[in-house]
Amino acid sequence: MKLFKFLIVVCITVLLTYTFNNRLVVQGTPIPPLGKFLDPNHGFWQNAERDSFPYQSQVELTGLNEPVAVKYDKNGVPHIFANNNHDLYVAQGYIIAQHRLWQMEFQTHAAAGRVSEIIGENGVNFDRMQRRKGMLLGAKATYEAMLADEVTNESIEAYANGVNQYIQSLTYKDLPIEYKLLGYEPEEWTPLKSALILEYMINNLTGYDDDLENTNALRLFGKETFDFLFPEHLPGIDPVIPTDISASWPFQPMETEAPLTALPSDKIKTSLPKPDPDNGSNNWAVSGTKTASGNAILANDTHLGLNLPSLWIMLQLHAPDVNVYGFTFTGAAGITIGFNDSISWGFTNAPRDLRDWYKIKFKDDSANQYWHDDQWKNTEKHIETIYVRGKDPFYDTITFTHHGPVVYDKSFGDEDNQKNYALHWIGHQPSLVQKALLELNRSSNYKDYLEAIENWDAPPQNIVFASTNGDIALRVQGQFTAKWKEQGKFLMDGSEPKNEWQALIPKTQNPYQFNPERGFVSSANQHSVDSLYPYWVYDASYEYYRNRSINQLLTSMDSITVQDMMEMQSNSYSLLPQETLPLMLDSLSMEGLSKEEKDVVNTLKKWDYNYLVELKAPSYFQAWWHQLNASIWDEFYTSDFALDAPNDYTTTYIIKNYPQYKFIDVDSTGQKESLTYLINTSFKQSLTNLEIWKENNQMDYTWGNYKGTFIRHLADLGGSLAGFSRYNVQVNGVADAINSTKRNHGPSERFIVEMSSPPKAWGIYPGGQSGNPGSIWYDNMIDQWRDGEYIPLLFMAAEGDNQEKILFNQILKPTE
Amino acid sequence: MKFIIQTILIAVLCYITGQYLPFWSLTAVAFVVAVLFKLKPTASFMAGFLAVFALWSFLAYGIDEETSSRLTNRVAQVFMGIPNTTLILITGFIGGLIGGFGAASGALFIDLTQKKRVQKYYS
């Protein structure tokens, strides 16, 4: 009996200890290893930070040649002072890992299609998509290119060394809290991961296309209607680089030849998920002729998913041949957006369709051969092993043609499994932007800038420039492909060689402006050029509103100050209601409206088109506009095939100029609806929708609530880590305003620099320097970001300067 | 008296070993101390539970105070939005369970090896 009792209790003890030491999954909900996690000596409690920097003041690192000093200012920005470039990047790797290890590893896992290893089978479809798209293929190509360049290779090797020494210094107690929560440990960092981080951004910025949706629309509506609904150019578009009429494009374009064959007549039920088409940015530079101080001013804010830990981290890097400050990605060597003693630079995405789909005809079910150029050619097969936490690995066979990976096939993609579509994407090509960035960090004038960005290939960007000697410039830079008219706008026949990319556009033929007469340069993801540019250029996600607001404001402004630029970045005015709301209100019949409805009309009439959080007018308008679109484009929303409705700009153009257009009739009703009828019914419907929203959300639909901006922790799935995220951030703006904020998307950093000598800069981002939710520097900048405030950036000339502003000193020493 | 000493000893030893060893080390500590004290299993369990419950709650509370509850607030939300005090008490409770069962096992073990208990109920 005693023995029995003893055994029972010992069993319970062992079982309990074992259970508390391991992660459990109860009814699909993962539970962290409770004992390990709650242990005050090693568990999450050890991630709680006091109000001071938790970093070691003396660190020994192997591979350093000389000591490196790291100085932290009150914003938690590390200023790294090294005596040579090698040490600089070892230190950068170590310091970034010290701040953001979990994030940098998680993002590279996501890029490589490895999240199933962490979150289990819910990640398998995502991982398959990443691998089928060829993310790893592209990252490997980029890594090969990095290896081949001595300076780049040395930098990312040094960086990896720094990251790994940080990882090796950790015990369970020191691990970032996410590892403890999710119950796993960091692996070794490799230089390939620096390429994966870049691939992650290339996918964010070039991973959107509407080729398959266009194909469906073409089949369903015919070419004439398609061209009407999806025009490539419309009146009022304001391209980044307008054609200079006095000296139009002084070059001979590369020649391409279009095939005579017809397009495939496929209709696609579902297309794969794509990055947010609003991924983009604003940037501009004004010359000294337009500023109060006479110095050029440069501004840049990048619109991406809003996450914690933040996408960006701020850093100053100082070595004998470089002193640079700015924002960078966790995993990339050097500074991505920033300034040095002489120049500043920034980016916006330069959208252009560099992702094309080819229909593949296989000889038989084995998919061993495909038809191309009148013969059967062999495919290559890669078996991808996706490790799944708590389950057996998933094996996915990906077939490769010379176009690229066959993403859609019988086992993946469209519901209709007869489709075989191969992807050809700029993301598969090697990218040398890491090299370009390292050189930009060290550039001191316009000529250096041009040389540095000569290597800029993917993702193509509008690279804005300003210097202390007063130059401003903007170049649409990237490795673009010369295309025949409408090449790749639709699914193409993969057996016809002329459908392939035939020639690259020499970078010397990329559009640019240098010290233009108007005294400023700007870009906001709109059309790069007008139709006079000698090449056919196309993208499905051009921006139509922010860019015109920026140009209108900059044209009208004079004696510009940094303060003006700050206010401009927070400008929440949108041209969309300006261009549509008067027409909508004019068409509204006041007869039969209730008093409440009349009040709404009055509120809208008084609205100045600023999207401010406390107002209801923006919510009324957005709900109404959305409902009106849904009625006009009901053919798109109710289709059985993947379709994208025409964009807001085209919709506005059509309702203003073609109010009788056939699409305006609602298909599902027998009668013929007029635009006026739709405007009236959608008004009433939108108010009903708002009341339902209010009921469901238990709060009023002020714009701030209705938009509901939130900043999500990378591992917060549907509120599972709500405590690590920030919900309901009351921030002004809308996607189409310069202050381009949406639900989970918006300015992921704001940066302004005045090119005095030395330059003076201000910045902010919706997060904080530390990736640790237990740190005061985790989300400390969110409120200032929300309110359009900035922090002055401390740009130190030398290691011993500004000691009064330094809160903490850290020395990285070579191992003795 | 023995009960109190065992409780204190477990707490002190767990505090020291806890600094260096993973949390499961406290199972062993509670076990060994219980073997030495030879309390009745239930009493031993209570001593082990109380010792580690108090120790972990106290340590967690100290960290929570020193760090202005910043991380406690966030993690408490992950645990279905419980109050911070509850999170501290849960921490203590989990530790207490381990300590308690470790100590109970120790008491039962020593009970096994001894033919007859000489002690009275509580000494």
pLDDT digits (tens, 9 = 90+) for A84-128: 999 999 999 999 999 999 999 999 999 999 999 999 999 999 999
pLDDT of residue B46: 93
Which pTM does this prediction carry?
0.95
Residue A776, SS3 per DSSP: coil
**Domain assignment present for B9:** yes
| DSSP for chain B, written as a single string | -HHHHHHHHHHHHHHHHHHHS-TTHHHHHHHHHHHHH---HHHHHHHHHHHHHHHHHHHHHHHHHHTTTHHHHHHHHHTTT--HHHHHHHHHHHHHHHHHHHHHHHHHHHHHH-SS--S-S--
Contact, A242 vs A287, CB < 8 A? no
CATH number at residue A631: 1.10.1400
CB contact under 8 A, A13 and B102: yes
Angle subtended at Cα A456 by Cα A454 and Cα A457, rounded to the nearest 5 degrees: 120
Average pLDDT for A372-394: 96
CB pairs under 8 A between A and B: 122
pLDDT of residue A719: 84
B101: chain A residues, CB-CB within 8 Å: 9, 12-13, 16
Contact, A599 vs A593, CB < 8 A? no
Q: Which of B22, B70, B101 sits opposite A774 (nearest CB)?
A: B70
Q: How far is A777 from chain B (nearest CA, A)?
A: 11
Q: Does B64 touch chain A (CB under 8 A)?
A: yes
Q: What would the pLDDT profile of A336-364 be if each residue is shown by its tens digit? A: 999 999 999 999 999 999 999 999 999 99
How far is A127 from A394, CA to CA, in rounded Å? Answer: 10
**Domain assignment present for B63:** yes
Residue A356 annotated as binding? yes
Residue A139, SS3 per DSSP: helix
Helix (H) or strand (E) holding A109, with range, is: helix A85-111
Residue in chain A closest to B16 (alpha carbons) equals A41
Average pLDDT for A322-338: 97
pLDDT of residue A247: 78
Exposure string (b/e) for A94-111, b if CB count within 10 Å is 16 or more?
A: bbbbbbbbbbbbbbbbbb
Looking at the DSSP bridge assignments, the partners of residue A512 are A475
B41: chain A residues, CB-CB within 8 Å: 5, 9
CB contact under 8 A, A177 and B91: no
Quick check: A569 pLDDT over 60?
Answer: yes
Quick check: A673 pLDDT over 80?
Answer: no
Q: What would the pLDDT profile of A288-304 be if each residue is shown by its tens digit? A: 999 999 999 999 999 99
Q: Is A739 left (phi over 0), alpha (psi -120 to 50) or beta?
A: beta
For residue A459, is the peptide bond before it cis, meaning its omega torsion is within 30 degrees of 0?
yes
- For A198, the token pair is 């870049």
Residue A353 annotated as binding? yes
Structural domain count, chain B? 1
pLDDT of residue B123: 45
Residue in chain A closest to B116 (alpha carbons) equals A2
Quick check: B47 pLDDT over 80?
Answer: yes
Q: Which of A41, A181, A776 sits opposite B70 (nearest CB)?
A: A776
Higher-pLDDT residue of A214 and B78 is: A214
**Domain assignment present for A558:** no
**Domain assignment present for A588:** yes
Q: How far is A697 from chain B (nearest CA, A)?
A: 19
Quick check: A415 pLDDT over 90?
Answer: no
**Domain assignment present for B119:** no
For A671, the domain range is: 575-707
Quick check: A664 pLDDT over 80?
Answer: no
For B56, the domain range is: 2-113
Looking at the DSSP bridge assignments, the partners of residue A773 are none
Contact, A401 vs A422, CB < 8 A? yes
Interface of A with B in 10-49 (CB under 8 A): 10, 12-13, 16-17, 20-21, 34-36, 38-49
Q: How far is A179 from chain B (nearest CA, A)?
A: 14
Mean residue pLDDT of chain A comes to 95
Quick check: A23 pLDDT over 50?
Answer: yes
Q: Which of B27, B64, B76 sits opposite A13 (nearest CB)?
A: B27
pLDDT of residue B113: 81
- At A593, give phi and psi (nearest 5°): -85, 140
Q: Does A727 touch chain B (CB under 8 A)?
A: no
Contact, A617 vs A677, CB < 8 A? no
Residues of A classed as catalytic: 281
- Cβ-in-10-Å burial (0-12, 13-18, 19+) of A803 comes to exposed
Structural domain count, chain A? 1
Confidence of residue A670 (pLDDT cuts 50, 70, 90): low
pLDDT of residue A342: 97
Q: What would the pLDDT profile of B80-103 be if each residue is shown by its tens digit? A: 889 999 999 999 999 999 999 999
pLDDT of residue A61: 96
**Domain assignment present for B81:** yes
Q: How far is A688 from chain B (nearest CA, A)?
A: 33
Quick check: A587 pLDDT over 70?
Answer: yes
Residues in chain A: 816
Q: Does B53 touch chain A (CB under 8 A)?
A: no
Q: Does A502 touch chain B (CB under 8 A)?
A: no
Tally the C-alpha atoms within 13 A of residue A504's C-alpha that lie toward its C-beta. 10
**Domain assignment present for B74:** yes
**Domain assignment present for B120:** no
Helix (H) or strand (E) holding A201, with range, is: helix A191-206
Q: Which of B60, B98, B112 sits opposite A17 (nearest CB)?
A: B98
Closest of A528, A412, A549 to residue A474, by C-alpha: A528
How far is A591 from A578, CA to CA, in rounded Å? Answer: 24
**Domain assignment present for A289:** no
**Domain assignment present for A560:** no
Share of chain A above pLDDT 70, in %: 99
Average pLDDT for A419-426: 96
Q: Does B24 touch chain A (CB under 8 A)?
A: yes
Quick check: A626 pLDDT over 60?
Answer: yes
**Domain assignment present for B35:** yes
Average pLDDT for B34-47: 90
Q: What would the pLDDT profile of A765-803 be if each residue is shown by its tens digit? A: 999 999 999 999 999 999 999 999 999 999 999 999 999
pLDDT of residue A308: 96
Q: How far is A727 from chain B (nearest CA, A)?
A: 13
pLDDT of residue A667: 66
**Domain assignment present for B122:** no
**Domain assignment present for A629:** yes
Q: What would the pLDDT profile of A515-559 be if each residue is shown by its tens digit? A: 999 999 999 999 999 999 999 999 999 999 999 999 999 999 999
**Domain assignment present for A728:** no
CB contact under 8 A, B74 and A723: yes
Residue A745, SS3 per DSSP: strand
Average pLDDT for A60-67: 96
Q: Does B102 touch chain A (CB under 8 A)?
A: yes
**Domain assignment present for A483:** no
Residue in chain A closest to B110 (alpha carbons) equals A6
**Domain assignment present for A690:** yes
- The interface pTM score, or ipTM, of the predicted complex is 0.93
Contact, A113 vs A140, CB < 8 A? no
